[in-house]
Amino acid sequence: MSSKLRFKVVGEAFAKRPLDVPIPTERPSDFFGKYVFNKQKMYKYLPKKTYDRMCDVMDNGTPLDSALANEIAAGMKKWAMELGVTHVTHWFQPLTDTTAEKHDGFVEHDGKGGMIEEFEGKSLMQQEPDASSFPSGGIRSTFEARGYSAWDPTSPVFVMGDTLMIPTVFISYTGEALDYKTPLLKALNAVDKAATDVCLYFYPNVKRVKANLGWEQEYFLVDEGLFGARPDLLLTGRTLMGHSSAKDQQMDDHYFGSIPERVSAFMKDLEIQALELGIPCKTRHNEVAPNQFELAPIYEECNLAIDHNMLIMGLMKKIARKHGFRCLLHEKPFAGVNGSGKHNNWSLITDTGVLLHSPGKTPIDNLRFVTFIVESLMAVHKHNGLLKASIMSATNAHRLGANEAPPAIVSSFLGKQLSDLLNHLEATEEDELINLSGKHGMKLDIPSIPEIMVDNTDRNRTSPFAFTGNRFEFRAVGAGANCASAMIALNTAMAEALVNFKKRVDALIEKGENKDTAILKILRNDIKACKNIRFDGNGYSNEWEIEAAKRGLDVEKSCPIIFDRYLDPESIEMFETMNVMTEMELKARNEIKWETYTKTIQIEARIFGDMAINHIIPIATRYQSSLTDNVHKLREIFGEEAMELSDENIKLIREISMRTKNITSKVQKMVDARKIANRIECQRERAIAYHDTVAPYLEDIRYDIDKLEMVIDDEIWPLPKYRELLFIR
């Protein structure tokens, strides 16, 4: 594509964009949740008794029977039909990082030759989508293609366009999870139980503990016309080649800068639609890289927050196109500038409203605070390799350890105040920490924690698991990933840590130890035990990598090998005893992870080969010919004298020859490496072969292509360049 054509394409996309989005006359508080069958709608559309029972299902997890489901379906249908809905679908999250749906019309024969709209409890509760084309890791061979989707009543039903969307789990005929939601709900249940039990040491009234998640979604917007002219972006979501722009993020002028008008219109449109779907959007801003932005809602219960994140990723893509953009959720669309992540702000909260990672005002509150902090650290300490595996993917691998996002080592930043506090507890005997003779009875010598800490904790952008005042921020999650993967691992690890904690405290109490002394004893022990993951320094530095290895942290960088952590004995034991996943499910999931890894690199390598051979080489040769032509002509006119005049051109001709030769021969070698890898039967071994022998060619060949981009006439360069992709907005 010539630069003139590129310009035309951009112009067309600009012309297509809506100039502005009309501001609704209603306020967000009026249209928030307009398309959600929330409690307010339930109250209106369900009989009072049904409403009460449904609340019990949602709030306390009581089971749902078919009679109740029928009553709920009737109310739901009435509400949906008033919104013009004609179809219904179960909406689920297969192991592909996207969502899936299969729409059925409400219509049924009425038995009199006509049609009626029907929607019964059984279609609400269960569907049987053909599961054969979803990844199952071999749990279910395709001839036993049946899979069930079953309603998750803890996440509300909503309407998109003409369709009633029902959030569901997706399981195989024999009961194994084929999705993210099933193990997520089990992990949340495990952490609920374990945390509630521990809370009872401090607060006798606690009945439930919920996990919270506040995700911050980063993304890029690229002009749709330019996007379409890049086969790599179109098919892999990232640029496989492209020289860095003379100016990119070095001036730090994009972060928190004023939002460009066209982007602002997109954001407004997105937020309105998200709010209507009950997603509590709150924050929006420019991110570090040019054309990179962030969106964050107010945190919610973890399961709901994940559904909302899945929903908004779909919305972002759809609405971006309306504005002449494409939304990139790939973790590393452009080399040389920051990639995109999805910070997962995670905390636990009791049904009595106590944020368990938040310091309190009383000694008891503070002992609870220290307990939940230390046991979170214990979870990360024991499973740091697994947590890394939970966020690892072929696409996120570009980000981790690439000196921008968190490094490929999971450690935790606590900040000075909290570190001092833990150091103090570690250095002081339990007896000295408790003063039982005080005037007010028991007194704990835990230094009081100033309230300002919640808002003012020091920040460390390089830490993958940072304490931020009343929560931990797991920063290594990929922008395009389903957060459930990270949340399953984290919440299960936390549940296990809390169960172990309680077991040990109870054993001491049984031996006659005072409860607080017992708790402090175990905490002191754990503070020492998990010290290796506490790191407040620069996570990007080489010294840290060396130091972390010495401390015994997982420093593996190869994505397919990192997946092995799921099958470590302590991981299997954790998932099984916490009743989240079985060994068989874990194995099946790993097969899918390795296969997905291989396919991602395979597709990239194919497209890369195509582009190198049929986009770059022909243009390079054409330009080279025009240079040789020029040299010839100079010689015709100037004879001997031309030797000097064509010096530079001859150098260029040589450089182009050298680079095109490099490219052609390495592309061939990459194809050969692929062929060898493809013959490997074992998914794990094949993924490792792709990682070790195919993927490196992508970087290697790219080097020569990017150099060619710098010397070849801009007029004929066939691909939109970084400066266009990153600065046209």
Out of 40, 133, 283, 657, the residue judged to bind ligand ADP by CB under 6 A:
283
CB of 355 to Mg ion, least distance (A): 19
CB of 472 to ligand ADP, least distance (A): 9
Asked if residue 720 lies in contact with residue 632, where contact means CB atoms within 8 angstroms, the answer is no
**What would the two tokens of residue 288 be?**
């570090």
Q: Name the one range near ligand ADP by CB under 6 A: 1-9, 54-62, 342-350, 517-525.
A: 342-350
Query: CA distances (Å), 567 to each of 50, 179, 228, 562, in order?
Result: 44, 18, 41, 10
Q: Binding to ligand ADP (CB under 6 A): which residues in 65-104? A: none
Q: Which does 214 bind (CB under 5 to 8 A by kind): ligand ADP, Mg ion, none?
A: ligand ADP
In single-letter form, the type of residue at position 520 comes to L
Cα 693 from Cα 677, distance rounded (Å):
8
Burial 121-130 (b: 16+ CB within 10 A, else e): bebbbebebe
Q: Which does 470 bind (CB under 5 to 8 A by kind): Mg ion, ligand ADP, none?
A: ligand ADP
Cα 581 from Cα 574, distance rounded (Å):
9
CB of 304 to Mg ion, least distance (A): 20
CB of 353 to ligand ADP, least distance (A): 12
CB of 279 to ligand ADP, least distance (A): 11
CB of 468 to Mg ion, least distance (A): 10
Q: Which does 492 bind (CB under 5 to 8 A by kind): Mg ion, ligand ADP, none?
A: none
Q: Using CB under 6 A as the criterion, what x/- string covers residues 466-505 for binding ligand ADP?
A: ----xx----------------------------------
**What would the two tokens of residue 576 be?**
């099984």
Q: Which does 355 bind (CB under 5 to 8 A by kind): ligand ADP, Mg ion, none?
A: ligand ADP
Establish if 347 lies at the interface with ligand ADP (CB under 6 A): yes
Q: Which does 334 bind (CB under 5 to 8 A by kind): ligand ADP, Mg ion, none?
A: none
Asked if residue 32 lies in contact with residue 278, where contact means CB atoms within 8 angstroms, the answer is yes
Asked if residue 240 lies in contact with residue 604, where contact means CB atoms within 8 angstroms, the answer is yes
Asked if residue 88 lies in contact with residue 103, where contact means CB atoms within 8 angstroms, the answer is yes
Cα 684 from Cα 555, distance rounded (Å):
19
Establish if 216 lies at the interface with Mg ion (CB under 5 A): yes
Q: Which residue is nearest to ligand ADP (CB)?
A: 214
Place of tokens 């007896």: 431
Closer to ligand ADP by Cβ: residue 187 or 548:
187
Q: Using CB under 6 A as the criterion, what x/- string covers residues 173-212 for binding ligand ADP?
A: ---------------------------------------x
- Beta strands at 107-109 and 115-117: parallel, antiparallel or unpaired: antiparallel
Closer to Mg ion by Cβ: residue 254 or 686:
254
| H or E element, residue 78 | helix 66-82
Residues 6+ positions from 282 with CB-CB distance below 8 Å? 296, 297, 298
| H or E element, residue 221 | strand 209-223
SS3 state of residue 534:
strand
How many binding residues for Mg ion (CB under 5 A)? 1
Asked if residue 548 lies in contact with residue 538, where contact means CB atoms within 8 angstroms, the answer is no
Out of 71, 192, 216, 591, the residue judged to bind ligand ADP by CB under 6 A:
216
Cα 309 from Cα 481, distance rounded (Å):
10
Closer to ligand ADP by Cβ: residue 343 or 521:
343
Q: How far apart are the first and last CA of the chain?
A: 20
Q: Which does 307 bind (CB under 5 to 8 A by kind): ligand ADP, Mg ion, none?
A: none
Establish if 214 lies at the interface with ligand ADP (CB under 6 A): yes
Q: Which does 380 bind (CB under 5 to 8 A by kind): ligand ADP, Mg ion, none?
A: none
Q: Name the one range near Mg ion by CB under 5 A: 215-223, 273-281, 627-635, 655-663.
A: 215-223
Q: Which does 598 bind (CB under 5 to 8 A by kind): Mg ion, ligand ADP, none?
A: none
The neighbouring-strand residues paired with 443 are 435
Closer to ligand ADP by Cβ: residue 232 or 307:
307
Closest CA to 224 of 11, 410, 59, 23: 11
Closer to ligand ADP by Cβ: residue 176 or 473:
473
CB of 57 to ligand ADP, least distance (A): 25
In which region does residue 448 sit, left (phi positive, over 0), alpha (psi from -120 to 50) or beta (all else)? Answer: beta
Asked if residue 208 lies in contact with residue 350, where contact means CB atoms within 8 angstroms, the answer is yes
Asked if residue 321 lies in contact with residue 222, where contact means CB atoms within 8 angstroms, the answer is no
Q: Which does 182 bind (CB under 5 to 8 A by kind): Mg ion, ligand ADP, none?
A: none
Cα 568 from Cα 201, distance rounded (Å):
32
Cα 603 from Cα 168, distance rounded (Å):
31
Q: Binding to ligand ADP (CB under 6 A): which residues in 284-303? A: 296-299
Establish if 456 lies at the interface with ligand ADP (CB under 6 A): no
CB of 260 to ligand ADP, least distance (A): 20
Q: Name the one range near ligand ADP by CB under 6 A: 6-14, 73-81, 345-353, 373-381.
A: 345-353
Q: Name the one range near Mg ion by CB under 5 A: 77-85, 212-220, 445-453, 700-708.
A: 212-220
In single-letter form, the type of residue at position 229 comes to A
Q: Which does 345 bind (CB under 5 to 8 A by kind): Mg ion, ligand ADP, none?
A: ligand ADP
Neighbours of 685 (CB within 10 A): 13
Backbone angles phi, psi at 107, to 5 degrees: -70, 145
Q: Which does 71 bind (CB under 5 to 8 A by kind): ligand ADP, Mg ion, none?
A: none
How many binding residues for ligand ADP (CB under 6 A)? 14
Q: Name the one range near ligand ADP by CB under 6 A: 339-347, 436-444, 583-591, 643-651.
A: 339-347
Q: Binding to ligand ADP (CB under 6 A): which residues in 233-272? A: none
Establish if 673 lies at the interface with ligand ADP (CB under 6 A): no
**What would the two tokens of residue 297 be?**
């809602």
CB of 277 to Mg ion, least distance (A): 21
Closer to ligand ADP by Cβ: residue 177 or 349:
349
Q: What single DSSP character describes residue 114?
A: S
**What would the two tokens of residue 414 be?**
């606590």
**What would the two tokens of residue 340 be?**
């995109």
Asked if residue 474 lies in contact with residue 465, where contact means CB atoms within 8 angstroms, the answer is yes
CB of 283 to Mg ion, least distance (A): 6
Place of tokens 């994009």: 254
Q: Which does 299 bind (CB under 5 to 8 A by kind): Mg ion, ligand ADP, none?
A: ligand ADP
Q: What single DSSP character describes residue 404?
A: S
Q: Residues interacting with ligand ADP, by CB under 6 A? A: 212, 214, 216, 283, 296-299, 345-347, 355, 470-471
Q: Which residues bind Mg ion (CB under 5 A)?
A: 216
